[in-house]
Amino acid sequence: MIDAELLQRWRNAPRLNDFAAFFERTAAGQGGAPDLAEPNIDLGLLDFDLEARVFADTHRRLWGPFDFHYFASIPYRLEEECRLGPALLRTALGTWAQTGRPASIYTLGTGTGCLARTLALFGAGRIEALCCSPTASNEQAFLANRASDHAFFHHGPFFDLDADRYASDPELRRFADGFDILFEDTTFQMYDADRIRQLEFVYPRIRPGGLLVQVQKLAHPDPEQYQARERQKDELFKSRYFSSILISDKKEEVLGTMSDMQVDKDTTIAALKCFFRYSVATWNSGNFYTIVSSNSRAAIVEFIFLLLRPAIPPAFSHTDLPAVWNETEAHPISTALSWRWPNFTAGAAASPRLAS
């Protein structure tokens, strides 16, 4: 049970207060957009995989204004989205095939809900997807290009969605029994540094055998290492898309405060261990990580087997992957993990980048 004091702390968090104007401007297309170039996916990093290519093409057609900003801000996050997407899709369709009911996916704090809409579109009624954002312009972008009647948007912060809300809201009632996959995207770090309490809130929404997938920006015990990775991000990646003025403005308006609510790897592992038997880091880009967690050994091993190898130049990745962060002594997973091989596209080498 989340107490009133904690909820008030989350309501007073920067995401809903100090950062609100920045996110609203960016989501409305009134600022924050890349002013030098638009982000485009490098399919070569995905080995020209056919599933990733099809997912990327559909995903790109559903972008709203905030997506341009987001994918230009984190090195190779777009490639990671389109690496995760086919694995999420195949996992969800497998759930539908096994259970005879639509799989349920919740993308928590994912801006315009582009990932949720893409998955719902491919699912064609076999997947029902929910996303949330407290930014009104993200809801407008969602509704302007919903793509599927099986995609749903909650306008509000993640902590609005408690059991009472799911039970009482006619549109959300379909999700009252929980989610097969819960995807949290760089959201917790905007509200609080108490990962245990945040996980405590969302954990009951994950069905038995389900997956938690997170993209998190982590603090580093060595501040110099953290800053070196930040400089690499800004100077070697973001500078392709943003002028130095825009990079500096965002640092001043958002990133300085956000760093106060980031936690390090050890704190992250300790929090996840309170709820999950297994946690595996499957991607790293500077200070950013994708982390997959589950209480089902089979579910996490099978999901990771559906992932291509990380689609990122080696210079930006500082961790050997996959990296097991939590496992049980009785049933370890370290030796069972492997990436899938790509399904090559005929003639792919002649077309290394997806046209916008």
Condensed to tens digits (0 to 9), the pLDDT of residues 25-79 reads 999 999 989 999 999 999 999 999 999 999 999 999 999 999 999 999 999 999 9
Is the residue at 347 inside a domain?
no
Is the residue at 353 inside a domain?
no
* CB of 138 closer than 8 Å to CB of 66: yes
Q: Is pLDDT above 80 for 354?
A: no
- pLDDT tens digit sequence for 246-297: 988 877 666 566 778 999 999 999 999 999 999 999 999 999 999 999 999 9
Average pLDDT score over the chain: 94
Q: Is pLDDT above 50 for 350?
A: no
Task: Return the pLDDT at 256.
Answer: 62
Structure tokens at 16: 């809903």
Task: Return the pLDDT at 259.
Answer: 76
Task: Return the pLDDT at 221.
Answer: 95
Q: Distance of alpha carbon 211 from its chain centroid, rounded?
A: 13
Task: Return the pLDDT at 344.
Answer: 80
- Total Cβ atoms within 10 A of residue 64: 25
Domain count, the chain: 1
- Among 102-106, 214-218, 321-325, 343-347, the range scoring the smallest mean pLDDT is 343-347
Task: Return the pLDDT at 260.
Answer: 84
**DSSP label of 332:** -
Is the residue at 38 inside a domain?
yes
Mean pLDDT computed over 200-206 = 97
Is the residue at 131 inside a domain?
yes
Is the residue at 351 inside a domain?
no
- Among 134-143, 234-243, 336-345, the range scoring the smallest mean pLDDT is 336-345
Is the residue at 352 inside a domain?
no
Domain that holds residue 181: 4-342
| Global pTM value | 0.95
Farthest-apart Cα atoms in the chain, separation: 58
356 band by pLDDT with thresholds 50, 70 and 90: very low
Task: Return the pLDDT at 346.
Answer: 59
The enclosing H or E element of 279 equals strand 278-285
Dihedral of the CA atoms 134, 230, 261, 165 (nearest 10)? Answer: 30
Structure tokens at 126: 């076999």
Is the residue at 354 inside a domain?
no
Mean pLDDT computed over 299-309 = 98
CATH number at residue 117: 3.40.50.150
Is the residue at 192 inside a domain?
yes
* CB of 70 closer than 8 Å to CB of 187: no
